[in-house]
Structure 1
Amino acid sequence: MPVKRLIAFVRALTTGCAVLCFCFMVLAVSVQVIGRYVLPIKLGNAVESAAFAQVWLACLGAGLALRHGAVFAVDALPAALPLWAARVASVLIAAGSLVFLAVLIYGGLLLTRQGASQTSPTLLLPMWTVFLAVPVGMGFMALEVVLRVFERWSDPFAPVFETETSQ
């Protein structure tokens, strides 16, 4: 199915970007520490670029955490509901999450537009490249919210490890 391939591609791309951001953060901070304590140089741009990578990692990682069931949820009550009621609860929770994420996406777009006229202090990068992490990351999280409802329709509140191994 083309839709399943597209979803798999988006998930792989997002995972790859998150891993790349994490690796870059480790490298940048390591270079900064070595530069400060081993060599007599200060690398402010390493700190700033690591902070920007951390922003992207946090925004993309939210959707990844949701996909792997690492987002905090109190689901003892919904798990005890009959299947039809659990499905309704799942849809209502997803709808509330989507409203919240829509507000974040909208705010992120406003922030990105404002960042078009700003540059970062050390690297002189346009700030919209950093601020774009919010609408992109929250958009990915919204996709994961919707996919979670469909993928877990047969048992919406089953433990995640059970549903991942059965797919």
Structure 2
Amino acid sequence: MKRVLGTIRSISTGMAIICYGYMVVAVIVQVLGRYLLPIGIGNAVETAAFAQVWLACIGAGLALRHGAVFAVDALPAMLGIGMARLVSLLIAAGSLVFLGVLIYGGILLTRQGAFQTSPTLLLPMWVVFAAVPVGMSFMAIEVIARVIERWNDPFGQHFDQTDVA
């Protein structure tokens, strides 16, 4: 299980690095083409925007993994281990329901994108829209992994042995 999760995390990190790197290169090429050369490279802007969509969707799971997603955990941090675990499960369940809605909507959007093309390059838009279900699926995996990995310390508090239920 850890090997599969590690592979998924490596792939998502690699995808984020590739998307970010591509965005930087595409924008630099577009700016240089516009101001230093007498040519406009509109394709670079469009593809950079597509890479940004993928980066945002994949990056949400990466941010969750590294604890960079906004959370209010002052109250749960004051709970005993048993109640903290219950609250952790409830939060995860709510997150998974929300992510399930996003995944479902993303699948519908991806299907619709099969009949649309991008304005400049005429790429099928499903390639861009697929970022939503893929990225939110990765985020759902991270939600589950976070609950499992932090089962003994759900909200980062440090329990005494007497608090363990």
TM norm. shorter chain > 0.5: yes
> Alignment RMSD, CA only?
0.7
Please report how far the alpha carbon of residue 146 of structure 1 lies from its aligned counterpart in structure 2 after TM superposition: 0.4
Please report how far the alpha carbon of residue 111 of structure 1 lies from its aligned counterpart in structure 2 after TM superposition: 0.2
Q: 1:103 aligned to 101, 114, 124, which one?
A: 101
Work out the CA distance in 2 between the residues paired with 1:88 and 1:9. Answer: 29
Q: Which residue of 2 aligns with 1:37?
A: 35
Q: Which residue of 2 aligns with 1:75?
A: 73
Query: Does residue 152 of the first structure (1) align with residue 150 of the second (2)?
Result: yes
SS of alignment partner, residue 63 of structure 1: helix
TM-score, normalised with respect to structure 1: 0.93
Q: Which residue of 1 aligns with 2:112?
A: 114
Q: Which residue of 2 aligns with 1:4?
A: 2
Work out the CA distance in 2 between the residues paired with 1:50 and 1:124. Answer: 15
TM-score, normalised with respect to structure 2: 0.94
Greater C-alpha radius of gyration: 2
List alignment gaps of at least 5 residues for structure 1: 160-167
Matches within 5 A, 1:80-91: 80-91=78-89
Q: 2:90 aligned to 92, 96, 99, which one?
A: 92
Q: Which residue of 2 aligns with 1:52?
A: 50
SS of alignment partner, residue 155 of structure 1: coil
Q: Which residue of 1 aligns with 2:25?
A: 27
SS of alignment partner, residue 76 of structure 1: coil
Runs of 4+ in structure 1 deviating by more than 2 angstroms, as ranges, are none
Number of aligned residue pairs: give it.
157
List alignment gaps of at least 5 residues for structure 2: 158-165
Partner amino acid, structure 1, of 2:118: S
